[in-house]
Amino acid sequence: MARSKSWIAALVAALAAVAALSGCNDSDQDDVDIQASSPQGLPSRIARLGNYEITSAAGAVQIVRDGQTVWATTAAPVTLARTTLDIGSERAIYEIEENRAQTCKGGRFTRMKGVADDVRLVGEFDDGACKGVSFSLELSSTDDGQVHFKLSSNNPKFNEVGLSLAVDENEQFHGFGEQTEQNLRGQNIPIVIQEQGVGRGGVVSKAINQLQLLPLPDDQKALIRSFVKAQGNAVTTYYAVPLTITGQGAGMLLKNTGYTRFDLRPDDHIEVHGFAGNLDGRFFGGKSQLEAITQATEYTGRMSVLPDWTQTGAVIGLQGGTETVEARYRMLKKAGVPITGLWLQDWAGARSTYGGAASMTCWNWERDDDRYPGWDKLRQELTADGVRLLGYFNPYLVSNVDKCNPGARRNLYKEARANGYLVKNSSGKPYQLTITDFDAGIVDLTNPQAFEWLKNILETQIKKNGFSGWMADFAEGLPFDTQLANGNSGRAGAAVQAMVHAGACFEPRATAVERYDAVYRQVYTRLYSELRPTLRRLRRVFARST
């Protein structure tokens, strides 16, 4: 009889596990204590979300696909804190200090409720000043077969939310936008769109710091001080993305548009921190990094294949006006350098800064005919040689256009200000951003009318000047203390501004009467070895000319 009861108990437990694996959960049943285990040692709760299984035991949560754990939390994975961000900036590089008034660490999940495609875990802190403070993790299946997650503080006073994920000490982490290192394990990575920096803590930074010791004129000292403050570090980037793929093919993407941070320094886990009361994102994974990247781009979209002409020669960056550009082009052509395009950054004019020690493009998006007389003739000659023209745009406008393009027919800053198209400061007035030794206004691309206005300017100038592409620059320089038309501050909307800027640059491709190709900063995508012969020729030519 005892054996019969044991057999029946085992059968009941097995049937319960099968029902859970099949997603046969009653949406009305009570929350289950996930720290309890069955006599057979099975996880106390198993739920299926599409291709993934969610298991939990002793406070830890595992996300499993095809029998392999994609992600797993630590046993006490949640941190909540009341945090103030103190933000300093210099030349669109941010120093962010996280000041915590109260921190609750080691939060465990204690209850779990699951239905067909939705799981909710609830936890709390059980000691000290944090006793009773709760949090929740919502997990659901997405239409494209991934796991959506949202970890939230259930107390609005706690704006910082942290999640700890267990990882092997040898695991590699890739991604986070445009970075110079392949494996970023060991780094503390802020996800904030900013300038990448000059030097970034390497050899150039050391040289810049040494220059401060030299007896130089005041204007040159000012330039060096600016560079010192704008050095950045190994992970500052103008293209920051809260997306990572591990060496084993696990992937995670955050949808948060405000400041977040990935701490990859611990040996046995990583920590992800958000500062708007939640972490909102996706988990996914594959058997390889390629499979994980494929899954990531199912959600983010995939970059179009670059046009063939970008791979047939060098795109040369030149500036200085028609006469200078023609002379240098002829020199390169005579030397046999294969050229597919000329990038003329100063097509809209240029201004001297720091007393002539530097030069910058005129941010008033209209061609400077005094600097580039005979533009159409230049374009025709280049076209006959199979060489294309590329330009430069950004969403910033200077007010004193006469200083950089005296013959301009329009003052775009004045137009934008009159129509309310500029980003505001806390007083509701146009925000003035200092760039080297001049100020600029910022087009508020969260304003639909401002978006269309700037997009139409780009489209008109692209067709008028015959550009086959352009550098879409500097949407990373949105200060955190700005106010946007969509109601966000710069702190919450910096990523949105940059993404919408990309849209303003992309949409003209579909609406232009004449077909052209949009080529952004990253022109070359094929192997570096294919460009080596061209680069060697370039070095020889410029060595002879200097």
Express each pLDDT in 401-442 by its tens digit. Answer: 999 999 999 999 999 999 999 999 999 999 998 877 788 999
Place of tokens 């060697």: 536
Are 263 and 271 within 8 A, CB to CB?
Answer: yes
Position 221 scores a pLDDT of 76
Lowest mean pLDDT among 35-39, 99-103, 113-117, 423-427: 35-39
Q: What percent of the chain has pLDDT over 70?
A: 79
Over 70: is that where the pLDDT of 284 sits? yes
Straight-line distance from the first to the last Cα atom of the chain, in angstroms, rounded to the nearest whole number: 99
Name which of 193, 243, 282 is nearest 491 in CA terms: 193
In this predicted structure, the answer to whether residue 82 has a pLDDT above a threshold of 90 is yes
Is residue 542's pLDDT more than 80? no
Average pLDDT over residues 234-256: 92
Q: What is the pLDDT of residue 149?
A: 97
Long-range contacts formed by 217-221: CB under 8 A, 24+ apart: 219/354, 219/355, 219/356, 219/357, 220/354, 220/357
Determine the pLDDT at residue 196: 82
Q: What is the pLDDT of residue 301?
A: 84
pTM: 0.81
Instruction: Share the mean pLDDT of the chain.
Output: 81
Q: Give the span between the Cα atoms of 62 and 46, in whole angstroms.
A: 10
d(CA 359, CA 311): 30
Which letter does DSSP use for residue 402 in this model?
G
Tell me the mean pLDDT in the region 446-470: 91
Q: What is the pLDDT of residue 496?
A: 64
CB atoms within 10 A of CB 45: 23
**Quick one: pLDDT at residue 529?**
33
- Name the more confident of 265 and 207: 265
Residue in 69, 66, 73 with CA at minimum distance from that of residue 51: 66
Is the pLDDT reported for residue 184 higher than 50?
A: yes
Amino acid 2 reads: A
Residues 6+ away with beta carbon under 8 Å from 158: 80, 81, 82, 102, 104, 133, 277
| Three-class SS state of 74 | strand
Q: Which range has the top average pLDDT, 186-195, 476-485, 488-497, 519-528?
A: 186-195
Q: Comparing 112-126, 254-268, 291-305, which segment has the lowest mean pLDDT?
A: 112-126
Please give the Cα distance from 234 to 229 (Å, whole number).
15
SS3 readout for 443-466? ECCCCHHHHHHHHHHHHHHHHHHC
Question: Is pLDDT of 157 > 60?
Answer: yes
Over residues 465-470, the mean pLDDT reads 91
Q: What angle do CA 181, 187, 193 make, to 5 degrees?
A: 75
Look at residue 12 and tell me whether its pLDDT is greater than 60: no
The pLDDT confidence band at residue 95, using thresholds 50, 70 and 90, is confident
Identity at 92, one-letter amino acid code: A
Say which range, 93-102, 163-172, 196-205, 404-413, has the weakest mean pLDDT: 196-205
Asked if 113 contacts 26 with a C-beta cutoff of 8 angstroms, the reply is no
Q: How many whole angstroms from its chain centre is CA 373?
A: 39
Give DSSP secondary structure letters for 47-63: EEETTEEEEEETTEEEE
Tell me, what's the pLDDT at 29?
A: 42
pLDDT at 546: 41
Long-range contacts of 176-183 (CB under 8 A, 24+ apart): 176/235, 176/237, 176/240, 176/241, 176/242, 176/243, 176/244, 176/262, 177/237, 177/239, 177/240, 177/241, 177/243, 178/237, 178/238, 178/239, 178/522, 179/235, 179/237, 180/234, 181/234, 181/235, 183/247
**Confidence category of residue 145, pLDDT binned at 50, 70, 90:** very high
Q: What is the pLDDT of residue 438?
A: 81
3-state SS, one letter per residue, for 144-181: CCCEEEEEEECCCCCCEEEEEEECCCCCCEEEEECCCC
Place of tokens 């040159």: 220
- Measured CA distances, 413 to 308, 437, 470, 473 (Å): 37, 17, 21, 18
Q: Is the pLDDT of residue 316 over 50?
A: yes
Task: Report the range of poorest mean pLDDT among 122-136, 352-366, 513-527.
Answer: 513-527
pLDDT tens sequence across 186-227? 999 999 888 887 777 776 677 777 777 888 888 777 777 777
pLDDT in the model for residue 478: 80
